[in-house]
Amino acid sequence: MVIRTTGRVIHHTSKVVHRFLVAATGLVVVCTMLLAGAAWRLSQGPIELVWLSNRAKAILSDETSPVRVSFKSVMLAWEGFDKGVDYPLDLRIADVVITDPMGKRIASAPQAHLTFSVAALIMGRFVPRAIEVDRAHIAVTRGADGSIGFGGSLAGGQGAAGEPPDFRALRDQLARPASTDHARSRGLLDQIHRVHLHDTEVTVTDQKTGLILTSARLNLDLLRERTGHVTGTLDAPLSAGDQHADMTAHMDFVPGGDTRVDAALSPVRLAGIAALPPALAVTAPVSLTSTLDFDRSFALRQGKATVLLGTGAIPVGKGTFPVLDGVVEVTGTPDSLTIRKAHFNLARQPQDPPETLDLGGTLVHAADRLMASVTATVDQIDIADLPRLWPEGIARSSRGWVTQNVTAGLVRHGFMDVVVEADHGLRDVVLTKATGDLDGTGATFTWIDNIPPVEQTEVHLHLVDPDTLDILVPSGHQRTRSGDLLLKDGRMHITGLAAKDQFADISTGVEGSLNATWALLKEPRLHLLSTHPIGLKTTGGDVTATLTFQFPLNANLTLDDVAIHADAHVKRARLLDLVYGRSLDDGAFDLDVTKDGLTLKGRGTLAAIPLAVTGSMDFNDGPPDQVVQKIVATGPADASQLSAMGLDVTGVVTGPIPLTATLAERRNGKGSVLLESDLTQAALAVDALAWSKPPGATAAATVSLQLLHDRLSRIDRIAVQGDGVLLSGSGEFTDGHMRSLLLDRIRLGQTDARAAIHFAANTPMAIAVRGAQIDLAPKLTQKSGAAPTRAPSRDGPTTPAWTLDGHFDRVLLAHGERATDLLVKAGGDGTTIRSLDAVGGIGTGAGFTARIEPQGGKRRLHVTSKDAGSLLRGLDAVGTMQSGQLTLHATFERPIGFRPLAGTMVISDATVKNSPVLGKLLQAITLYGLVDALRGPGMGFTRITVPFRYDASGLSIGQARAYNASLGLTATGTIALPSGRASLTGTIVPAYFFNAILGKIPLVGKLFSPEEGGGLFAARFSVDGPIDDATISVNPVSALTPGFTREIFGIFDGNGPGGQAAPSR
């Protein structure tokens, strides 16, 4: 039973299985036929699935989704017959448009390819697993306010950028691993594992700048693995204007971890993109590689980038910064940016030596402020390239001055550290720190343009702070037309770097020769001694000076903007041809020179006179009578020093002569020289009058000279005043030559006169003297033990030639004698009188004359007087004679000077009284009666004849004779002058009238009187010694012997010097 039952069950089951198998087989056949038919149909072209399209539209219209997707149709296609049976089903969506919840278009594509979950579709859900979009169009707009928007409205118009879509939900969904059909769905893109955009056209528009950036064939491929690891690649050719570049990127995203994006940009010239702001107009090709790291919330954590630059220029300020090549490496976080490396080669050509610039620094965001710290290093910069390398607009004023005045050299080891702070809007930008140092070698520069440059300098630049720069020049050389100068410790202090205008303060030490320094100060560009010249010729001398300049660093700088100051010390200077061709030696001066003027203080030696000198010059504009130059020189001098200087006063002044000379020049060319001297300690003497002032007697001299364009135009005042002296006068000049000298008051002792001296070309100077009185007594009675001065060695004329016209009411002579109404006319040259005509009264009114006349190459002297005694006594020649008439005829044997003078003086009817020599002689021969007469009323002489010769040795007398009825005398010998020592021999004849008769008897007269004027009874005598106290000797034998035997006994007279006869004429 059991077995039968089991058999029936098995039989029944087998039938059921058979039927199921038959049904299943039929179903398979039917499905296979359906699939085959569907496949054949799909191979013929896509099949539109309206029901699926409606279902997908309903699903994609989720109000909670961050985006909205719309499309025209959904079509199913399979190309397995052509591409293999393993080719997947292709769900094609036509005319896809993606918008944000507000209806703003984000992207559009003519076609998209999707793979999706069939199970989810059967369950009524559309869950895409892969999306491929071909030839999509994406538009991104940056509004004028900086906001980012995508695309436009559904109608296709371009809308303004609005609030950006919120992709946070999309980001959160993609941050999780891809889901499956067996897991709970968490969103539309829960199972997506690939997104591929192919040949996508992207357009980015910046409404503020007008920049339009396009990529016509952008390819983006994102792959999402089951673990959630997302990788992506981007290849985008970019275009902006006529510039093209390729951008590539790779993304690596790990759910729950970090995201990394590596990007690269091929070289592009930003300057070719017109819409970019000028600050980005880089002409150098720029390429970029970068890496960005994001945290798990897709927030940027850090990044780094490397920028490569080719040959071109970078805009800086209002100019450009040229580079041959460069590399910049930066790293950053959301709060900071660090320049790890920025190296630029600034050379002109690749084969040139490198000129390098290296930058480093950080940009930090903290406490709502941005702070940038930048360091810069430069090396091997050719200073000649500064105009090219220093961008315009950066420290514009400094740039203009430096590039114009610094022309050569090499910059080495330059370093700069800068810190800048600003707010978020970069409106409140503050430079809080700027320091730096830079060294330069072999530099050439000028402090002021168009003056000789400073060469071979070592330069150190020190940036003190954002507002201050110091340029230090330890040493340098400056070439001038008169030699080289050494510059030491130079410093240029620039302030106002952070302001619109900068100012420079320059100081430098200068060492060199006086000529070279003088040449520098005379440079026309300085407008110092070139505009206000000093007529000095310099040689030798050393200068140590400090020059300072203050001026704004302005391209349109004028000299009025420059303050110039030179403080110089001069030593061992020699100023040539300062006074009368004499030079100032061993000069040491301190000079202070500015644009306003010059001051001078120092010392020197002029013709052995030590001088202290002070001076000033005024360079400012002013009225015509403004004093523009004043020099004061003081020093102790003596007559020999003044004579060596060209002012011969040796015959007038001896002893100390302290001098003060003051020179003043005015703007109109007029000037003055004031000479002052205190002559109290000096001795004054006028030899022509034998007047003198002893040391200690008060006296002072002043001479005021007027100048016109550095030439004498007038002696305004001559004044000498003191004890026993008063002199005042003036002088006139024409064309720098003296034409007249007027002395309106001459008072020397008892002399009171006035004089006028006139000078004319090729004409003897004319001297006119008038006076109430002239005192010649001191001169006539002057005694001196000095030997007579030597006669001139040449017979030619001396200079200058002169004429004299004089008139004195009274002439004081020796021993109280006076001449009256003296008229003198004379002419000569130098100290030689060539013509003379003098007429006056003497004694009781008797007249006298004196004449000198040229004759046969010689000069003849004629003197007459009707009162010989008064004239000879007044001349201090003979003081014991009264009355008488005098006639003198003599000849100056040489054309110049007053010796030798030979001639004869004849006096008649004169009376001799109280003559010491004659008295002693009469006593010696015991003629006491005659002695008494000599002491009483005097002894009259009928005639006195004196042949003489006056020369350098003194006065020689030959055969002088004198006689009256009681006495006869002869004399021969010499009288030394000026000592007055006599050496005479002669004969004295008592009872001359009777005694001489025998000598006149014919034939035998010679026997009784051998000498003319002698007699039968005569005595030989000799006179030796001072004329006023001479020793008289008489030969007693000769007194009683006849004349012919007197010569025999004359051998006993002695052979003294007085025994020699005077030379014959």
In Å, what is the CA distance from 683 to each residue of 690, 692, 743? 13, 7, 21
Give the model confidence (pLDDT) of 899-910 as tens digits.
889 999 999 998
- Taking the C-alpha atoms of residue 784 and residue 979, their distance in angstroms, rounded to an integer, is 7
pLDDT at 993: 46
Q: What's phi and psi for 785, nearest 5 deg?
A: -90, 0
Q: In this predicted structure, what is the pLDDT of residue 154?
A: 39
State the first-to-last Cα distance of the chain, in angstroms, to the nearest integer: 221
What per-residue confidence (pLDDT) applies to 234? 93
Q: Which residue has the tokens 């038919």?
A: 37
In this prediction, residue 1061 carries a pLDDT of 34
What tokens were used for 795? 């017979």
pLDDT digits (tens, 9 = 90+) for 691-747: 888 999 999 999 998 888 878 889 999 999 999 899 999 999 888 788 999 999 999
The answer to whether 239 and 217 have CB atoms below 8 angstroms apart is no
pLDDT average, residue stretch 974-981: 81
Report whether pLDDT(159) > 50: no
Q: Is the pLDDT of residue 543 over 50?
A: yes
Q: Average pLDDT of the chain?
A: 78
Quote the pLDDT of residue 535: 60
* pLDDT at residue 576 greater than cutoff 80: no
The residue with greater pLDDT, 25 or 220, is 220
Greatest pairwise CA separation for the chain in angstroms? 249
User: Which tokens is 63 given?
Assistant: 């109000």
Measured distance CA(331)–CA(342) in Å, rounded: 12
Are residues 87 and 78 in contact, defined by beta-carbon separation less than 8 angstroms?
A: yes
User: What is the structure's pLDDT at 1049?
Assistant: 37
The pLDDT of 500-506, averaged and rounded, is 82
pTM for this prediction: 0.62
- Of 335, 264, 268, residue with least CA distance to 305: 264
What does the chain come to in residues?
A: 1065
Rounded distance, CA 800 to CA 804, Å?
13
For residues 204 and 215, is the Cβ–Cβ distance under 8 A?
Answer: no
Amino acid 989: pLDDT: 77
What pLDDT was estimated at residue 926? 57
Please, what is the Cα angle at 1008 between 1004 and 1012, to 5 degrees? 100
| H or E, element range at 882 | strand 881-882
Instruction: Report d(CA 584, CA 613) in Å as an integer.
Output: 11
SS (HEC) of 365-397:
EECCEEEEEEEEEEECEEHHHHHHHCCCCCCHH
CA–CA distance, 806 with 375 (Å, rounded to integer): 97
Query: For residues 287 and 274, what is the distance between their CA atoms, to the nearest angstrom?
Result: 19
Supply the pLDDT for residue 1062.
33
d(CA 484, CA 495): 31
Check residues 110 and 36 and name the one with the higher pLDDT: 110
Least confident span in 479-488, 593-602, 877-886:
479-488
Domain parsing of the chain, residue ranges: 47-228, 621-736, 905-1065
- Tell me how many helices (H) and strands (E) the chain has: 16, 59
The mean pLDDT value for 306-325 works out to: 86
Percentage of the chain exceeding pLDDT 70: 74
pLDDT for position 512: 77
Q: How confident is the model at residue 994 (pLDDT cuts 50, 70, 90)?
A: very low
pLDDT at 787 over 50: no
Cβ contact 245:212 at 8 Å: no
pLDDT at 84 over 60: no
Each residue's pLDDT tens digit, 255-294: 777 889 999 999 999 888 888 887 788 889 999 999 999 8
Distance CA 581, CA 592 (A): 27
Say how far apart CA 603 and CA 611 lie, in whole Å. 5
Among 380, 401, 402, 400, CA closest to 392: 400
Q: How many CB atoms lie within 10 A of CB 213?
A: 17
Task: State the pLDDT confidence band at 191, using cuts at 50, 70 and 90.
Answer: confident
CA 543 vs CA 485, 517, 524, 746: distances in Å: 9, 7, 20, 49
Q: What is the pLDDT of residues 794-833, one digit of tens each?
A: 555 567 889 999 999 999 999 888 999 999 999 998 888 8
Looking at residue 44, its pLDDT comes to 60
Range scoring the smallest mean pLDDT among 717-726, 943-952, 974-983: 974-983
213 vs 141: CA distance, rounded Å: 10
Separation CA 59–CA 939 (nearest Å): 182
- Spatial CB neighbours of 12, under 8 Å, sequence gap ≥ 6: none
> How much is the average pLDDT of 333-359?
86
Residue type, 934: L
Which one has a higher pLDDT value, 838 or 49?
A: 838
- The DSSP 8-state label assigned to residue 185 in this structure reads P
CA separation (Å) from 875 to 569, 773, 942, 944? 62, 17, 22, 18
Whether residue 693 contacts residue 723, with contact meaning beta carbons closer than 8 Å, is answered with: yes
Instruction: Compute the average pLDDT of residues 630-638.
Output: 87
Residue 376 tokens, joined = 């810069």
pLDDT in the model for residue 1004: 42
Residue 648 vs residue 223, higher pLDDT: 223
**Residue 179 confidence class, pLDDT cut points 50, 70, 90:** low
Residue the block writes with tokens 């920028």: 307
